[in-house]
A and B are shown apart, each in its own frame.
Chain A
Amino acid sequence: MSQTKTATLTEIFSEVLANLAFMFTDDDQADVGAGDVWLETTIGYEGPCRGELCFRCPRDFTRQLAANLLGIDVEHEEATHKSEDAVKEFMNIVCGQLVTTLHGAQAVFNLTIPQCRELAETPNLDVEDDPRISTLSVNGSRIQLVYRADEDIEPTS
């Protein structure tokens, strides 16, 4: 079940990324930069059931995303300034699309405010046996998506 939802998430993510930011998934596996700083953006939804999406990518990827969304050069300081905001809003859009795809337009869900944090180290990008995780290459960068359903989410205290 998780595998199906992760596949749906990957499909929606790739589609929104292509349509909104003109960034495309590659068949070839991109290299991982040794000095890359990685960010993790998380958003959840709650309603008849719960789910959580997590997106991990190098900081440079978020700069490119911001630049493409805003129609500016990646070297422009605004691309750096708005990079975290851009990736959070991007995941907000992906989550909205995913919820409707998975649960239909009749159900009412509330999305959480997306959170973005810097990771202490590069995530494990070679995971193959976890159905919640999908690793792909986009515009020369490795990125990782995680879908967690109800049973995988830690209860809030």
Chain B
Amino acid sequence: MSHDVLIVDDSATIRQMVKKTLKMAGLDVGSVFEASNGIEALAQLNDHPVAVMLVDINMPTMNGVQLLTRMQENRRLKTIPIVIVSTEGSKQRIEELESIGAFGYVRKPFHPEQLRDVLKPLLGVKDDVTDQDGDIDGDLF
């Protein structure tokens, strides 16, 4: 069964690049929804339950940390695994994010393999992908 994903990033460019990476990575991804901040993400989650969220930290209106905190207060939403995709490099910040529910962390810019490795346990790999370590090149995203 394919898994739906929500990408939350204020940059449309990054959302498109992540979407492309998900396709290239051979992960078992269904529909990919998008939101440009935490408020939009919460609205999307009302309409579209997803299996995984990819969330940026630095966003206007409601940032990634505020979104995670809000989701932890909701019994249904707190079960959705969240992978942080951010430029953030502080160890303390990453630990803080993990302590409030982040499942994983990928730092921008990233290689498609890095995203795939974090998401593989959550999404699985498509049945028709035989070479799980091949097929995606080493370009940075």
Q: How far is the CB of B15 from chain A (nearest CB, A)?
A: 10
CA distance A66 to B60 in the complex (A): 21
| Size bracket, chain A contacts | 20 to 34
Query: A20-B109, A111-B58 in contact; A96/B89 too (CB < 8 A)?
Result: yes
Do residues B87 and A19 form an inter-chain contact, with CB atoms below 8 A?
Answer: no
CA distance A110 to B96 in the complex (A): 14
The interface residues of chain A lying within 8 Å CB-to-CB of B76 are none
- B140 part of interface (Cβ distance < 8 Å): yes
Do residues A96 and B11 form an inter-chain contact, with CB atoms below 8 A?
Answer: no
- A16 part of interface (Cβ distance < 8 Å): yes
Do residues A96 and B17 form an inter-chain contact, with CB atoms below 8 A?
Answer: no
- B118 part of interface (Cβ distance < 8 Å): no
Using a CB-CB cutoff of 8 Å, which residues 62-113 of chain A contact chain B?
Answer: 66, 69-71, 82, 85-86, 88-89, 92-93, 95-97, 99-100, 105-111, 113
CA distance A97 to B108 in the complex (A): 9
The interface residues of chain B lying within 8 Å CB-to-CB of A108 are 90, 92-93
Interface contacts (Cβ under 8 Å), in number, total: 63
Number of interface residues of B (CB under 8 A): 24
CA distance A70 to B10 in the complex (A): 16
Question: 1/0 contact trace for B82-123 toward A, CB 8 Å?
Answer: 000011111111000000000000011100000000000000
Query: A66-B13, A93-B108 in contact; A107/B140 too (CB < 8 A)?
Result: no
- B20 part of interface (Cβ distance < 8 Å): yes
- B16 part of interface (Cβ distance < 8 Å): yes
Kindly identify which residue among B11, B86, B93 contacts A88, using a CB–CB cutoff of 8 Å.
B11
CA distance A122 to B11 in the complex (A): 27
Kindly identify which residue among A93, A99, A106 contacts B92, using a CB–CB cutoff of 8 Å.
A106
Chain B interface main SS type? loop
Do residues A96 and B88 form an inter-chain contact, with CB atoms below 8 A?
Answer: yes
The interface residues of chain B lying within 8 Å CB-to-CB of A109 are 90
Q: How far is the CB of A83 from chain B (nearest CB, A)?
A: 9
Query: A66-B13, A82-B13, A113-B60 in contact; A92/B90 too (CB < 8 A)?
Result: no
The interface residues of chain A lying within 8 Å CB-to-CB of B60 are 113
Query: A19-B140, A71-B20 in contact; A89/B91 too (CB < 8 A)?
Result: no
Q: Which chain B residues have a beta carbon within 8 Å of chain A's beta carbons?
A: 10-14, 16-17, 20, 58-60, 86-93, 107-109, 140-141
Can you give 19 contacting A-B residue pairs, CB < 8 Å? A20-B109, A66-B13, A70-B13, A70-B17, A86-B13, A88-B11, A89-B13, A89-B14, A92-B58, A93-B109, A95-B87, A96-B86, A97-B87, A97-B89, A100-B90, A106-B90, A106-B91, A108-B93, A113-B60
